[in-house]
Amino acid sequence: MDKIKITGGVPLRGTIQISGAKNAALPLMAASLLTEDTLALSNMPYLADIVTMANLLAQHGVALNMQGDGKKTGRILSLCAADVNNLTAPYELVRTMRASVLVLGPLLARFGAGKVSLPGGCAIGTRPIDLHLKALEQMGAHIELRDGYIHAEVAGRLRGANIQFEKISVGATENILMAASLAEGVTTIGNAAREPEVCDLAHCLQMMGAKIEGIGTDTITVTGVERLHGGNYAVIANRIETGTFAAAAAITGGDVELIGARIELMQAVVEKFAEAGVAISETPRGLRVRCVDGPIHGIDIMTQAYPGFPTDMQAQMMALLSVAQGASMITETIFENRYMHVPELTRMGAKINVHGASAMVRGAPELRGAEVMATDLRASVSLVIAALAAQGETIIHRVYHLDRGYERLEEKLSGCGALIERITARAPLTLATSEAA
Ligand code: UD1
């Protein structure tokens, strides 16, 4: 397995190109199942999770074509679901990526049936999908859980319903938005997620002919249509990647311009950076990040659904605050068990105590390089951030977690002066055997 080696202490200076958002791209790819026409998605990031979704759609019968290579941003992915011949999303693919469940709403809406493996447990908590299933049942689907699979079918078309989510869920809102777009009648989604990625999906569906009102509010109304068409759509900028590089710039006392980043997608994050003494300002090309107020100050953060502070930025902010002056209190309200980076940061000299859903971070004068283990996507990038500021060398193991969500991470950071390199694993040794004579 690949490792990443980082020698800390170099202030980041320069520019970094922000990619299209993974969490917007995945549901947009699933939306291609809603039409027999071609959907062309531009500004596509090139990541392990995107490849997984591409493989999933391909085995359903979707024809995919990527223009541009893996080295450049702004690629275009064309998807055409004219010849869907398989309505099953198999365990091998769904288990590696929960977002695979986003094919269920589109399959049911367009083909009247779908069989999707249950995603199962996940490193950052149990993450059930009950909200998705209950809402689809309200729309007339018959759902059974058998042999580890969700078996869903509907006689005729899905029907519009009045859905009131008891909890805000990004994935459930997206699944129902897609299902409702082709349903018969009007669907109201109450307590809907308002994340920019949900809005991006809704805007793409509108471009495809869907009738959607209330985008960006907690009540979305969808009037179903009989048919959606294809078209071209550009994926929004990745606000989490933007925040991650902002934390990396700040922890090294650097000055970095994030090209293509958009401030309006991340007000809560920008406010917390400002409170900690990190200025994020708009430039004609994106955002500029620099420390303006001496050392980083300790601050309190609570993760919340959008427009609150995103859970996907919690680990990165914790790494930054581990070298702040003073103490910080971080409270995670979205996922249980999302502090797996804490023992690893502690190995690097961070002073963090977890009490239930809250973590007390006491700023340490310095971090020291160590061998650490990546456990999930955001946890692993928090180790990269800590390593950029640490004295000496850090080796991060299990970097495949990073490859799920960060495109060309080493290249983007080393372009700003970071001493970072990937150590590619050699093929395992095999014993030479000789055939018996
Ligand atoms: C999405 C993001 C993920 C982000 C998360 C929260 C994608 C591909 N992933 O994940 O990066 O961390 O939003 O912003 O976009 N829940 C239920 N029942 C359900 C569904 C969710 O109880 O049926 C709970 C979850 O366990 C969690 C909370 O609701 O506690 C929010 O989860 P949700 O918003 O659904 O996250 P995802 O869509 O999986």
132 phi and psi, to 5 degrees? -60, -50
Q: Residues 240, 268: contact at Cβ < 8 Å? A: no
Give 367: exposed, middle or buried? Use CB within 10 Å, 0-12, 13-18, 19+.
buried
- Ligand 1 within 6 A of 204 CB? no
Cα–Cα distance measured from residue 102 to residue 114, given in angstroms and rounded to the nearest whole number:
11
Q: Residues 291, 323: contact at Cβ < 8 Å? A: no
- Ligand 1 within 6 A of 378 CB? no
Cα–Cα distance measured from residue 44 to residue 378, given in angstroms and rounded to the nearest whole number:
20
- Ligand 1 within 6 A of 328 CB? no
Residue nearest to atom 32 of ligand 1 (CA): 169
- Ligand 1 within 6 A of 166 CB? no
- Ligand 1 within 6 A of 132 CB? yes
Give the nearest ligand 1 atom to 126 CA: 26
Pocket test for ligand 1, best of 136, 150, 167 (most atoms within 8 A of CB): 167
CA dihedral 56, 59, 63, 67 (to 10 degrees): 40
Residue nearest to atom 26 of ligand 1 (CA): 127
Residue nearest to atom 8 of ligand 1 (CA): 23
Please tell me whether the overall predicted TM-score, pTM, comes out greater than 0.75 for this model. yes
Look up 122 and say whether it is catalytic.
yes
170 Cα–ligand 1 center, Å: 6
Q: Residues 84, 33: contact at Cβ < 8 Å? A: yes
- Contacts from 125-129 at CB under 8 Å and sequence distance 24+? 125/335, 125/336, 125/337, 125/338, 126/336, 127/98, 127/335, 129/101, 129/171, 129/172
- Ligand 1 within 6 A of 124 CB? no
Please name which of 290, 342, 336, 293 lies closest in space to residue 317, comparing C-alpha atoms. Answer: 342
Please name which of 407, 399, 385 lies closest in space to residue 313, comparing C-alpha atoms. Answer: 385
The reported pLDDT for the residue numbered 252 is 96
Cα–Cα distance measured from residue 418 to residue 249, given in angstroms and rounded to the nearest whole number:
10
Cα–Cα distance measured from residue 402 to residue 248, given in angstroms and rounded to the nearest whole number:
15
Give 186: exposed, middle or buried? Use CB within 10 Å, 0-12, 13-18, 19+.
middle
Spot the catalytic one: 80, 122, 199, 204: 122
Cα–Cα distance measured from residue 2 to residue 403, given in angstroms and rounded to the nearest whole number:
10
Residue nearest to atom 19 of ligand 1 (CA): 129
Give 162: exposed, middle or buried? Use CB within 10 Å, 0-12, 13-18, 19+.
exposed
CA 354 to each of CA 29, 80, 329, 337, 342: distance values in angstroms, whole numbers, following the listed order: 38, 48, 10, 11, 8
The reported pLDDT for the residue numbered 75 is 87
Please name which of 208, 235, 210 lies closest in space to residue 220, comparing C-alpha atoms. Answer: 210
368 Cα–ligand 1 center, Å: 34
State whether residue 393 is helix, strand or coil: strand
Cβ neighbours of residue 46 under 8 Å, at least 6 residues apart?
70, 75, 407
Give 236: exposed, middle or buried? Use CB within 10 Å, 0-12, 13-18, 19+.
buried
Residue identified by tokens 């090294």 is 252
Mean pLDDT for each consecutive 10-residue tract of the chain (437 residues)? Answer: 93 96 98 98 93 96 85 81 97 91 97 91 64 96 93 96 97 98 98 98 98 98 98 97 98 96 96 96 96 87 98 97 97 90 95 96 95 88 96 93 91 97 74 45
For residue 209, the Cα-to-chain-centroid distance in whole angstroms is 26
Give the nearest ligand 1 atom to 132 CA: 23
Give the nearest ligand 1 atom to 98 CA: 39
354 Cα–ligand 1 center, Å: 22
Residues in the chain: 437
Could you please report the per-residue DSSP string of 122-142?
BTTB----HHHHHHHHHTT-E
The reported pLDDT for the residue numbered 42 is 95
- Ligand 1 within 6 A of 72 CB? no
The reported pLDDT for the residue numbered 435 is 42
State whether residue 431 is helix, strand or coil: coil
- Ligand 1 within 6 A of 100 CB? no
- A 10 A CB-CB count for 119 gives 21
